[in-house]
Structure 1
Amino acid sequence: MPQPIVALVGATASGKTGLSLDLAERLGGEVVNTDAMQVYRGMDVGTAKLPASERRGIPHHLLDLLEVTEPSTVAEFQGLARGVIAGIRERDRVPVLVGGSALYTRAIVDRFEFPGTDESLRAELEAELEEVGGHALHERLRGLDPEAAAAILPDNGRRVVRALEVVALTGRPYSASLPQLEYADPLTVQVGVDIDRPTLDARIEQRVEEMFAGGLVEEVEALVARGLQNGRTAHRAIGYREVLAHLAGDRSLAEAIEQTKAATRRFARRQDSWFRKDPRIVWVAHDDPDRVARAVEAVAGLSDQQR
């Protein structure tokens, strides 16, 4: 029987990274990144990318694939991730998926066929995004597809543009093209890290403070020299866009820090809302001393069901 696919999900700063290492060690696994921004070389501090020295010798995949000038799409990532997962299972190892991008995780584990794209329409919408801003386009999306608008942050301009593009191309709501709750491979289990909001907010506060103290501004300055602002995707990451505004003189460093905290809290709430809608997820408490054992039990239970 093939090895199962294990996906760790939950809000940013909830403790997924540590649990992914523990699970990979217990299950004989390899870690597969599903964070949309950790695919970029040099985006380390602001994405909380785990340094190689802290990976316990466990192979990690889909990190540092792209330059910050290159675009990243869910469709391309889906193909890459599924190829990596197949290779891990061929080696009789367990793929342990972990990352903060809910759509990327769902695109990998669920049945999900991507609508086509139109380069001229996309360029037109991106030009409009630069001119009027993401909030204006988000209001348009709200009128066309309230469900999609509710699932996409107004400041995630790239996803707003994609949603409007799909609506224009298909004549159907973007939400109709989102992945359905059906695993592409039945040997899949999702483990969610459950954490209360006050604790999560405190962790986010601490993480952002540590990022800025750990050189986030200097990291962004170095990436600007490598063309960060010329790319379509990377410069919109939380933390990076706030630092870019600071470097441009549009806000103070203190304002950039506070706005990064606020944006991260909003993002974490959206993540939690997205995952809570999925009844297949097995939740383990972030502070449960037996959380690793409980997660392993969920994986073992899946294997028993398939026998």
Structure 2
Amino acid sequence: MLPTPTRDPEAVKGVMFGLTAYTMWGCFPLFFALFDGVPAFEILIHRILWACIFLVGLITLLRRWPPVVAALGEPKRLGRVLACALLIAFNWGIYIYAVESKQVLQASLGYFLTPLVNVALGMLVLREVMAKLQLVALGLATIAIATQFVMLGELPWISLVLALSFGSYGLFRKQVPLDGLSGLFVETLLLFPLGLIALGWLSWNGSSHFLQDTSTTGLLIASGALTALPLMAFAGAARRLRLATLGFLMYINPSIQFLIALSVFGEPLGLIQLATFVLIWIGLALYSWSAWQSRTRYAVAS
């Protein structure tokens, strides 16, 4: 009889953590849609401020101060962390704007595009050699965007900005020796003074929605915790799972956003937009297959 394969309990935990993280990220449109009349810029400010405050307590509870102190003790390295902070804040702001302006389909497309943007950045910036299937996948994504531009006369700029900003964030983040939780705290900490200045400016102008009513104030504060919680789950998954497994789980996030855009927000999906998504999905399938083949060959070689 063949031996029954045993489940690795840590891998099972990793999958559960990964599902939790990507499901929470995928459901973010439902949360940000609750802000009635609050501009994306103001939500972004509070997301940065309250995430930083929440992370202070979390890092204290988990006793994770040593890597944070070490990072802050090397000012020369903080330039890249600041670049990461500005890129992720820009990404957050555009994403919140996409939800508020009912363009969640574009946001979904942006996060579907992100792995292919990573391939392009790796080739252009890091001079990485790409597999043939990855190049084909990148070509399909380019054709998809070009088709939408030619047929509809407009670029899906939200999708492109989200994919490019998050892809660039990942490029810089790889060069910062900080784990996800500590890295996010240092990033929000660097932005904290700017957030306070912006909040002060809004209050001085009388355009701040903070403390105007209980529900909006609660939502603004909660945005900080909701920024950190899926990252914690992702960190738990990253410690327990192979990178290839994480890569497959990653598609849960934009898939949920795609479904929410259609079923909850009732966004229209035209034939050209559908063709764009189909080309991107085919490209992602080729990209995933190429990544899986590379991992298999590496495992056999070692």
Give TM-score, length-normalised by structure 1. 0.24
Higher helix content, 1 or 2: 2
Structure with more contact order per residue of length (Cα contacts < 8 Å, sep ≥ 6): 2
Which structure has the greater CA radius of gyration?
2
Higher strand content, 1 or 2: 1
Give TM-score, length-normalised by structure 2. 0.25
